[in-house]
Structure 1
Amino acid sequence: MSHLAVAPGHQLRFSTLKSGIEGITQRMLTLTLRNLERDGLLIRHYFPEVPPRVEYELTEMGAGMLPALEGFTSWIRDNWPRIEDCRRVYDESRR
């Protein structure tokens, strides 16, 4: 959703979203986008071209949640190195 967050009012292609989320599989992104669409946070635009093109856009409700997510996103950015360290220590202790 990060690409969509920086592009309210714009449509983004599936491939652009996928490239912005390290390690996500096509299936997981598809399921996540479908759930966000079902929740009313995204609109899916299908273009019957060859090859088919699909773009996603935040709804008004989806864009409205961005300010609420700002604090959480900031916290993640500030604490990500510590989270990675904790994961490494945990994983090493399990070997």
Structure 2
Amino acid sequence: MGVTDGVVGLTRVATAEYGPAGVRVNAVCPGVIDTEVIDRASEEMGEEGIGQIVQAKPLRRMWRSEEVASAAVWLCSGGRGSSRVIHSSSTGGT
């Protein structure tokens, strides 16, 4: 069980607890985001090390920070219809 699983579990519990009161609970867990932190890690681990981490993720790519921000904005906007849980673990489950 990893950090993402914990965040997803907390999100589900909070949804069950506060959903009936009309509170929306969302989480964004994109995995590896292409940032300066990854650049520094790449210097230490090498491109191959980062590549192995990325290949272990379901989409086998890094996310751009703009993509993550766009998802967060979409989740925060109102009136988007029914609630959905979308979760993809490192093993590809939903």
Q: TM-score by structure 1 length?
A: 0.28
Structure richer in strand, relative to its length: 1
Larger radius of gyration: 1
Name whichever structure is richer in helix by fraction: 1
TM-score, structure 2 normalization: 0.28
